[in-house]
């Protein structure tokens, strides 16, 4: 049985800026992209509002790799009001599509990772897996 955590008592959001995420994931060797509000601001070429968090999207199949790459941080599966610690080598439950990255030293949440179906070549819409396309057609690479 998973242990649930009251996330408000263990950290606050002090998210990495997308440029810092890019530096941290530069050598991760997985496909990823900025998602959520920051993705719109990057597309617009300007920050239009303050951002509390920074979200990225990765294929769920790449979770072990990103977990290893971010091994200095604690990871938590998130969804439906649950924040569940993910011990090392543990995969997020299949009903959870988000993982938060906690920097214990800074007492801060740093990153929100969206876990998507699909793989490095094919992007698949999580809410309707019939909707799919080559990742290069869906995700902008700069």
pLDDT tens for 14-73 read: 999 999 999 999 999 999 999 999 999 998 999 999 999 999 999 999 999 999 999 999
Q: Write the pLDDT tens digit of every residue in 50-63.
A: 999 999 999 999 99
CA proximity to 73, closest of 95, 99, 35, 34: 99
pLDDT for 96 beyond 90: yes
- Containing 45, the helix (H) or strand (E) segment is none
Band of the pLDDT at 1, cuts 50, 70, 90?
very low
73: left (phi over 0), alpha (psi -120 to 50) or beta: beta
Termini Cα distance of the chain: 42
Backbone angles phi, psi at 137, to 5 degrees: -85, -20
Instruction: Count Cβ atoms within 10 A of the Cβ of residue 115 and give its class: 0-12 exposed, 13-18 middle, 19 or more buried.
Output: buried
pTM of the model: 0.89
Name the β-bridge partners of 68: none
pLDDT for 8 beyond 60: no
How many angstroms separate the Cα of 73 from the Cα of each of 44, 140, 142? 31, 28, 27
Contact 10, 102 (CB under 8 A): yes
Q: According to DSSP H, which parts of the chain are helical?
A: 18-25, 36-44, 63-69, 135-138
Band of the pLDDT at 138, cuts 50, 70, 90?
confident
d(CA 120, CA 134): 9
Q: Is the pLDDT higher at 89 or at 60? A: 60
């Amino acid at each position: 049985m998973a242990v649930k955590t009251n996330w408000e008592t263990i950290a606050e959001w002090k998210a990495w800026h997308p440029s810092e995420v890019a530096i941290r994931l530069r050598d991760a060797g997985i496909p990823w992209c900025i998602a959520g509000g920051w993705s719109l601001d990057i597309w617009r070429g300007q920050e239009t509002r303050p951002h509390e968090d920074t979200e990225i999207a990765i294929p769920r199949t790449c979770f072990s790799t990103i977990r290893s790459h971010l091994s200095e941080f604690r990871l938590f599966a998130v969804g439906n009001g649950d924040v569940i610690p993910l011990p090392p080598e543990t995969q997020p439950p299949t009903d959870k599509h988000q993982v938060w990255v906690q920097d214990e030293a800074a007492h801060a949440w740093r990153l929100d990772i969206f876990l998507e179906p699909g793989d490095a070549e094919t992007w698949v819409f999580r809410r309707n897996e019939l909707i799919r396309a080559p990742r290069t057609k869906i995700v902008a690479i700069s």
